[in-house]
Amino acid sequence: MEILEVTSRVLGARCTVVAVGDVAVVVDAGAGVADEVRRVAASHGLRLVAVLATHGHADHTWDAGPLTAALGVPLLIHAADAYRLDDPFGTLGVLGAAPPGGEAALAQVLRQAGVDPAGYVRPEQVVTFGGRSGPDGRSPDEPLDLEGVRLVARHAPGHTEGSTIFLVDAPEPVALTGDVLFAGTIGRTDLPGGDDLVMARTLREVVERLPRAARLLPGHGPTTLLATELRHNPFLGS
């Protein structure tokens, strides 16, 4: 098992390449990462077989279209967030809405990073998981075996309806937490699809029940350990 990282120029979103042998998947293809991901894969002799998204916000999915098209592979995303792929600006609320005579905050961030705000391409191949929901509104854990790269998709709503934590099947547990949990803080809940109460339940019933030894790779910022977050993150623990 090998984990490689590429950082997007847009909001520093983390893009992760998870490899087993010469097979790999990409998690969170943010804006401007497609060429670098392919370069990293080539330099390590990796065959990329899928792109995954922890959630549907544009800073985590912007390059999913060109990357999946270039590789001929699908994008996997939770069913509850798939609609965001159709309208990356409109589903971001105030961040995606242009004020009168101005430009949307998302467009400004993209432009400043050298990314054309009009250049978004929706992925053609989209595969959804998590279509079923339990009595608590969450989808059951879904094991994913992508040509030998094994992960578990764990539904973790609150930041968005379909936010997902990917647990990597490795000797030392690794969790890709997207924008649910960061080092020292959590994802915002004030954008469309966010919910304070749902996030609180996710933190209590999903995040705190991750393997205690898990290394956490958030969607932005430094990596951390679950044990560290349980001790110091003010949003976790009782």
> What would the pLDDT profile of 167-210 be if each residue is shown by its tens digit?
998 888 999 999 999 999 999 999 999 999 999 999 999 999 99
pLDDT level of residue 163 (50, 70, 90 thresholds): very high
Give me the helices (H) in the chain, please.
Answer: 34-43, 58-61, 64-71, 105-112, 196-205, 226-232
Identify which of 39, 93, 96 has the alpha carbon closest to the alpha carbon of residue 62: 96
**What are the chain's domains?**
2-232 (3.60.15.10)
Tokens of 235: 């949003």
**Burial class for 140, CB neighbours closer than 10 Å (0-12, 13-18, 19+):** exposed
In the numeric block, the tokens 């339940």 are attached to 201
The pLDDT tens digits of the residues spanning 69-109 come to: 999 999 999 999 999 999 999 999 999 999 999 999 999 99
pLDDT at 238: 57
* pTM listed for this prediction: 0.96
Q: What is the mean pLDDT of the segment spanning 145-168?
A: 97
Q: What is the mean pLDDT of the segment spanning 19-33?
A: 98
pLDDT at 136: 77
pLDDT at 171: 81
* Whether 78 contacts 164, CB under 8 Å: yes
- Return mean pLDDT, the chain: 96
